[in-house]
Amino acid sequence: MIITKKELAHELRELKINERSLRVPVYTFGTAVVGSGAAGLNCADLLSVSGQSVAVITEGISMGTSRNTGSDKQTYYKLTLSGDTPDSVGDMAKSLFDGGAMHGDLALREAAGSTRAFMRLVELGVPFPRNEYGEFAGYQTDHDTRTRATSCGPLTSKYMTEALERAVRAHDVPIFDGHRVVRILTESGRAIGVASLCTDEIDCFNEYGLTLILANNIVWATGGPSAIYAATVYPESQTCAHGIALEAGAAAVNVTESQYGLASVKFRWNLSGTYQQVLPRYVSTLPDGSDEREFLDEYFDGTTETLTAIFRKGYQWPFDPAKLGGGGSSMVDIAVFCERQKGRRVFMDFRRNPSPADKDGTLDFSLTSDEVHTYLENSGALLATPIERLAKMNTPAIELYMSHGIDLYSEPLEIDMCAQHNNGGFSVDMNYESMTLPHFFVIGEAAGVFGIHRPGGSALNSTQVGSCAAAERISEYERDRQATLLPDDTATQLSELICLYSKDKNGMTRSDILKKRAEYAKRMSECGAFIRSETEIGKLISEIKSELADFAAYTVSDTALLIELLINRDILITQLVYLSSILEYIQDGGMSRGSYLILRKGDALPNANSCIAIDTVHRGKVCEVLYTDGEINAAWKPVRPIPTRDNWFENVYNSYRKRFSE
């Protein structure tokens, strides 16, 4: 049964905002979960199961990264659950912590919670593969020391989200679908609710579609800063909601650390794993598709080296400046970037082999390295063409594109260097509660729990572990919950946003807003993505500050456009904080690391013989950033070490009993 919001218990309040009186519905819950991906839905379901009052607020239940992204074989990272090789929580925590610039207590929490979180997904019906004995088989992923990775195929996170949605709906958790949160309500320095805008007339009580949801705890599960870049693999349905939390006083951390890599552009998808290991042909063309040419051999010392670099892009998918010189796989990324900089389009072609290695339509396997040959041989894929090899090793990878109107058997795949994941986000403690905004929990990609490097698939593990940790802490809070009241200054908190709404038909159109958004994203991709220019970043920061100062000049004439306009504002605030953090890092002497290359004045792009200096000085510290009234305050802090634990059972047993009986 679908219950409209007007049928849920609520109070109608009269608010005077910008000299206008509005009748606004006010709903009250113990917890408001903002976001409907794998993290948000898991947290909502866990709270519901424990008897807590909870609601989900989402722009669209089918939007977001969890439901709409993946790779050739999307990885989920957890403690080893098969085979004879020893593993432990401590070992897994060390693998996470050793990525650099990551807090040890968070690494331990992510490791300790992984088995519990994984098995919950299994019980909910997510089809992770296991053998006849019940072992969940694994494989080794990047930055991993064991075989902790597993996968359901290209759509792992989609299956997770669908299973969690079924659970949430089975427990009748109210879902405010089609509601864009535009402000986090605060009182006395803590989060106490959210304000949303809705265009669905069924849910609307006023011309703005303004709704207020009070809650003792806010869970922010809105994903990464997806719309701040032009070249991105984030789904188009996901925009950006970081700016709202930054304005409310939530500190950001490690937002310098994003991952970038090759992805398709017509349908946004990571091109890792078997897409590379089958050795496709790379070509570039003029914008009209003419003047096709292969270009990779120009960046490597021979065909064998080129083939090896392509192959390694499969498991070294993120760009890494440490993998540039000496035939490193990230030179493939640089080559693609350089072709795009020339105004050319770049494609991966699975129909034919790279020409220097093609012999009468068949790959000349004598030109492949032992590493490549052994892998293809063990996979039963010593076949003539890339598409035949891909069909043998990973048929779903072909079917995925076919389902989106792209036939890899008959057409090449257009690609670009794209933003894919932010390792940083909002600063949280080991309960995933904001370090600066009490009762505001951040989970999933929005949480800044990772540093420079992270094992592949650890982001999916984090969605489940973080949401479980937050739900447990919220349950403790709820035992002593006091009534949540509407702040006296609610109208003031909302006035800056509502003033952008005007019945003047001469305001901005949707086309105007999206054109501006595209301009914002293009500038960010040009200087603040995987190639970072100190000079250009400084210029862009000044431009963004000016645009934010003048933003009140923009007006729109309906709620749908107001939502779009506020997304633009959110993007600008997020870009300002991210670029300011990057500049702070550079000015503190930071060098290339992780998934980005820093170019100072006079620096040129690397070539095959370049030796890139990789930063080591900043591995043991993180940069926390606060956004306050348009100003940026950055502070460097040492990472918290992996805690020393007392695991003597009797002590843990008695401590646990005391904690959960009080």
The 3 state secondary structure assigned to 305-369 is HHHHHHHHCCCCCCCCHHHCCCCCCCHHHHHHHHHHHCCCEEEEECCCCCHHHEECCEECHHHCC
User: What H or E segment, with its residue span, contains residue 262?
Assistant: strand 258-264
Mean pLDDT within 590-601: 94
Report which secondary-structure segment, H or E, holds 260.
strand 258-264
Q: Where are the domains of the chain?
A: 20-179+209-258+420-432+443-469, 260-419
Phi and psi, residue 135, nearest 5°: -75, 135
Per-residue pLDDT reduced to its tens digit, 542-595: 999 999 999 999 999 899 999 999 999 999 999 999 999 999 999 999 999 999
Identify the band that residue 9 occupies on the pLDDT scale cut at 50, 70 and 90. Answer: confident
Give the pLDDT confidence score for residue 1 in this predicted structure: 36
403-421 pLDDT, tens digit per residue, is: 999 999 999 999 999 999 9
Q: Give me the amino acid identity at 112.
A: A
Q: Is 556 left (phi over 0), alpha (psi -120 to 50) or beta?
A: beta
**% of the chain with per-residue pLDDT over 70:** 99
> Structure tokens of 339?
């072709």
Q: Band the pLDDT of 70: cuts 50, 70, 90.
A: confident
Contacts of residue 310, Cβ cutoff 8 Å, sequence gap at least 6:
276, 279, 280, 282, 296, 329, 332, 354
Quote the CA–CA distance of 220 and 216 in Å, as a whole number: 13
Strands 440-442 and 210-220: parallel
Task: Provide the pLDDT for residue 447.
Answer: 98
217/483 Cα distance (integer angstroms): 12
- Asked if residue 175 lies in contact with residue 168, where contact means CB atoms within 8 angstroms, the answer is yes
What pLDDT does 485 receive? Answer: 83
| Residue 200 pLDDT exceeds 90 | no
Top pLDDT among 201 and 373 is at 373
- Both tokens of residue 133? 């004995």
What does the mean pLDDT of the chain come to?
94
| Mean pLDDT to the nearest integer, 604-626 | 91
Beta strands in 43-104 (DSSP E): 54-58, 75-77
Round to the nearest angstrom and report the end-to-end CA distance of the chain: 38
Q: State the pairing for strand pair 54-58/75-77.
A: unpaired
- At how many degrees (to 10) do helices 534-549 and 510-527 cross? 150
Beta bridge partners of 185: 193
Closest to 576 measured CA to CA, from 551, 601, 603: 551
pLDDT the model gives residue 608: 74
Strand partners, 599: 533
Tell me whether residue 134 is exposed, middle or buried, using C-beta atoms within 10 angstroms of its C-beta: 0 to 12, 13 to 18, 19 or more: exposed
Task: Give burial (CB, 10 Å; 0-12/13-18/19+) of 322.
Answer: middle
pLDDT tens string 233-254:
998 888 889 999 999 999 999 9
> How much is the pLDDT for 28?
95
pLDDT band for position 602 (50/70/90)? confident
Question: Does residue 196 register a pLDDT over 70?
Answer: yes
Tell whether the model's pLDDT for residue 2 goes beyond 60: no
3 vs 660, which has greater pLDDT? Answer: 660
Q: What is the pLDDT of residue 3?
A: 54
Q: How confident is the model at residue 4 (pLDDT cuts 50, 70, 90)?
A: low
Six token digits for residue 314: 């499969």
pLDDT of residue 662: 62
482 pLDDT above the threshold of 90: no
Quote the tokens at residue 143: 């930055």
* pLDDT on residue 208: 87
**Rama region for 589: left / alpha / beta (φ>0; ψ in -120 to 50; rest):** left
CA dihedral 599, 605, 608, 614 (to 10 degrees): 10
Lowest mean per-residue pLDDT among 465-474, 509-518, 596-605: 596-605
pLDDT of residue 582: 98
The CA-based angle 542-513-511, given to 5 degrees, is 140
- Helix, strand, coil distribution of the chain in percent, nearest 5: 35, 20, 40
Query: Can you give the pLDDT at residue 170?
Result: 96
**Share above pLDDT 90 across residues of the chain, in percent, rounded to a whole number:** 82
pLDDT digit string, tens, across residues 152-180 = 988 999 999 999 999 999 999 999 999 99
Nearest residue to 558 (alpha-carbon basis) of 309, 207, 122, 149 = 207
Express each pLDDT in 422-461 by its tens digit. Answer: 999 999 999 999 999 999 999 999 999 999 999 999 999 9
What are 601's two structure tokens? 């004045």
Phi-psi region of 613 (alpha: psi -120 to 50; beta: other; left: phi over 0): beta
| Longest pairwise C-alpha distance within the chain | 78
Given 3.90.1150.10, 3.40.50.10470, 3.50.50.60, 3.40.30.10, which CATH number is that of 20-179+209-258+420-432+443-469? 3.50.50.60
Mean predicted confidence (pLDDT) in 308-318: 94
Burial 93-131 (b: 16+ CB within 10 A, else e): bbbbbbbbbbbbbbbbbbbbbbbebbebbeebebebeee
The model carries a pTM of 0.95
How does residue 507 score in pLDDT terms, banded at 50, 70 and 90?
A: confident
